[in-house]
Amino acid sequence: MAEIAEWTAQRTLKLPAAIVARFRPTDRFFVWAEGDTLCLKRITPAPVTEIVAQAPQAEPLSLDEINEIVHEVRLNR
């Protein structure tokens, strides 16, 4: 399927309705340019069950440790 997207005066890219319908409002995309081609790749997070299965089987983190990790992640955004 090929359709035309539109660059608006508000500096946003308006995608055709048929394309928009394929995604959820919460979806996020990795975007890159190759010459005059703009590429979008939907970021699909791993399911929670997969994350839990990969978690180390050590002692659970304390609330202070979790809080510290959250603050570090937020600072690096």
pLDDT in tens, the chain (77 residues): 788 999 999 999 999 999 999 999 888 999 999 999 999 999 887 676 666 666 677 788 889 988 888 888 888 76
Q: What is the CA radius of gyration of the chain?
A: 19
Residue 65 CA, chain-centre distance (Å), reads 25
43 membership: H or E segment, kind and range: strand 37-43
The pLDDT value recorded for residue 50 is: 66
Q: Can you list the positions of beta strands (E) in the chain?
A: 6-7, 13-14, 28-34, 37-43
Residue-level pLDDT at 72: 85
CB distance 52 to 39 below 8 Å: no
Q: What dihedral do alpha carbons 2, 8, 36, 40 form, nearest 10°? A: -60
Q: Look at residue 41 in the predicted model and tell me its pLDDT.
A: 92
